[in-house]
C-alpha cells in the first residue's frame, strides 16, 4: 500500500480554538486517520485539538492539507504549526483518538486558566537571542531571568537548554503545584519558558501569569522542535524526548546523561524490565548484558520474585524511584541550574 512505505514521518501539532461539538470532531478525526493509515494519539476537547501522528510522507502531507482546509481551524492553524520528524506509523502501537477536558493535561479547568491568557510568544530566533543574553548575564552572576523547562524530569534529563531550571516533576499536572510551592523563585523575574512543541507553555505560561508575580513571561513558539530546525547546534544540548516508541530524536551528537548503573554517557531510554513498572531507565548495553535492566534494585527484585513464582499476581508500581521523588520539589532560591557552560 502506498501509504505504508517505511520512510515516513511523525507530525506533532496543536490548535487552540472553540470546538462546539468535540464528539463530532473526534469521529471525523478518527475516520481521517484510519483512511490515511496513520497511527498515534489525538486529543480533542472544547478548547481545541492536540495530536501526534505517524505515517508515510504521502499520508502526512494529505493529513496536513485536510487539517488546513477544515473550517474549524481556518485562519488559526497554519503549515508552520506542524512539526515533523523522521519516523512513520511504526512509531506508535495503534491509533487513539478521544475527547478530553483539556488538550494537554495540566489538571486545571480551561475555564479557570485559559490558553487565551498566555505569555508572549518568541520565534526561535528571538528565543535564541534571549537565551544568549541570559547566559552571558548569568555567567556574571547578575540575571533577572529564569529559563524554565516545563517538561518532566525524564525529558529534561536527556536534553535541555544550557542554564535552564528543570523541575523534578513527573507529570505536567504537577506543574501548577510546582509554581505555587516556588512562587518566591519567580518574583519579579523575566521567565523564558519552553517545552517540546509549545503546547505545555500555552497553559503553563497562562498559569504562571495568573499568579501575577513575574515581571514578564515569554515562551518558545513551536517549542524545542522548531528551535532545533533553526539551531541544531544552538543552546539546546542533548536529545529531544518524544512520546512514542522512538523515545528521543537527535539534532546534535551530544550525550548529556549517564547510565543509571555505571555512569557511562548514555541517553537511550528503555522501559524498566519489571512487568508492573512504567518507569523509563537509562541502562547502557554493557550493564544490560549484566542483567541490569530495571529502574532500581527494588524493581529488579520484584521482577525476580514474579518470574520465580510464575504467578499472575500484579504488583503495583511502587519502588524507590517513585518513593524517593518528592511529588512537588521545592527549589532553594539560590536556584539549582543545569550546567550553563559547554564542557
Question: What's the pLDDT tens digit per position in 106-128?
Answer: 999 988 988 889 999 999 999 99
Residue 145 pairs in a beta bridge with 190
Class of the CATH-defined domain 8-99: alpha beta
Segment (H or E) for 206: helix 199-210
Top pLDDT among 247 and 337 is at 247
Percentage, residues of the chain above pLDDT 70: 89
Are 148 and 161 spatial neighbours (Cβ–Cβ below 8 Å)? no
Class of the CATH-defined domain 120-250: alpha beta
Report pLDDT for 125: 98
The catalytic site residues sit at 195
Are 247 and 268 spatial neighbours (Cβ–Cβ below 8 Å)? yes
Query: Given the C-alpha cell 505555587, which residue does it identify?
Result: 180
Question: What's the pLDDT tens digit per position in 59-82?
Answer: 999 999 999 999 999 889 999 999
Q: Is the pLDDT assigned to residue 325 strictly greater than 70?
A: no
| Domain boundaries for CATH 3.30.70.100 within the chain | 8-99
| Domain boundaries for CATH 3.40.250.10 within the chain | 120-250
The full DSSP string for 251-292 is SS-----B-TTT--B---EEE-SSTT---EEE--HHHHHTT-
Q: What is the mean pLDDT of residues 235-253?
A: 92
Report pLDDT for 318: 67
Question: What's the pLDDT tens digit per position in 29-40?
Answer: 999 999 999 999
Q: What is the mean pLDDT of residues 282-293?
A: 93
CA distance 282 to 269: 5
Amino acid at each position: 500500500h502506498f501509504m505504508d512505505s517505511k520512510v515516513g514521518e511523525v507530525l506533532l501539532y496543536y490548535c487552540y480554538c472553540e470546538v462546539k461539538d468535540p464528539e463530532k470532531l473526534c469521529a471525523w478525526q478518527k475516520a481521517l486517520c484510519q483512511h490515511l493509515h496513520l497511527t498515534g494519539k489525538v486529543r480533542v476537547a472544547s478548547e481545541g485539538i492536540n495530536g501526534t501522528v505517524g505515517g508515510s510522507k504521502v499520508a502526512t502531507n494529505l493529513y496536513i492539507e485536510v487539517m488546513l482546509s477544515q473550517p474549524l481551524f481556518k485562519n488559526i492553524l497554519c503549515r508552520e504549526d506542524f512539526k515533523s520528524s523522521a519516523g512513520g506509523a511504526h512509531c506508535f502501537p495503534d491509533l487513539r483518538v478521544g475527547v478530553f477536558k483539556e488538550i494537554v493535561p495540566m489538571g486545571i479547568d480551561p475555564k479557570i486558566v485559559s490558553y487565551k491568557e498566555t505569555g508572549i510568544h518568541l520565534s526561535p530566533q528571538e528565543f535564541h537571542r534571549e537565551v544568549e543574553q541570559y547566559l552571558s548575564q548569568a555567567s556574571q552572576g547578575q540575571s533577572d531571568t529564569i529559563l524554565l523547562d516545563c517538561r518532566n524530569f525524564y525529558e529534561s534529563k536527556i536534553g535541555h537548554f544550557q542554564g535552564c531550571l528543570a523541575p523534578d516533576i513527573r507529570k505536567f499536572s504537577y506543574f501548577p503545584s510546582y509554581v505555587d510551592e516556588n512562587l518566591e523563585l519567580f518574583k519579579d523575574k523575566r521567565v523564558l519558558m519552553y517545552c517540546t512543541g509549545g503546547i505545555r507553555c500555552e497553559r503553563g505560561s497562562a498559569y504562571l501569569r495568573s499568579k501575577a508575580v513575574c515581571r514578564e513571561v515569554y515562551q518558545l513558539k513551536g517549542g524545542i522542535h522548531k528551535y532545533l530546525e533553526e539551531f541544531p547546534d544552538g543552546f539546546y544540548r542533548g536529545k529531544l524526548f518524544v512520546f512514542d516508541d522512538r523515545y528521543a530524536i537527535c539534532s546534535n551528537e551530544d550525550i548529556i546523561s549517564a547510565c543509571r548503573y555505571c555512569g557511562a554517557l548514555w541517553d537511550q531510554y528503555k522501559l524498566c524490565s519489571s512487568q508492573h513498572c512504567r518507569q523509563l531507565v537509562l541502562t547502557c548495553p554493557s550493564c544490560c548484558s549484566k542483567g541490569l535492566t530495571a529502574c532500581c534494585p527494588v524493581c529488579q527484585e520484584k521482577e525476580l520474585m514474579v518470574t520465580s513464582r510464575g504467578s499472575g499476581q500484579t504488583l503495583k508500581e511502587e519502588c524507590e524511584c517513585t518513593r524517593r521523588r518528592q511529588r512537588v520539589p521545592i527549589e532553594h532560591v539560590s536556584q539549582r541550574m543545569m550546567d550553563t557552560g559547554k564542557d
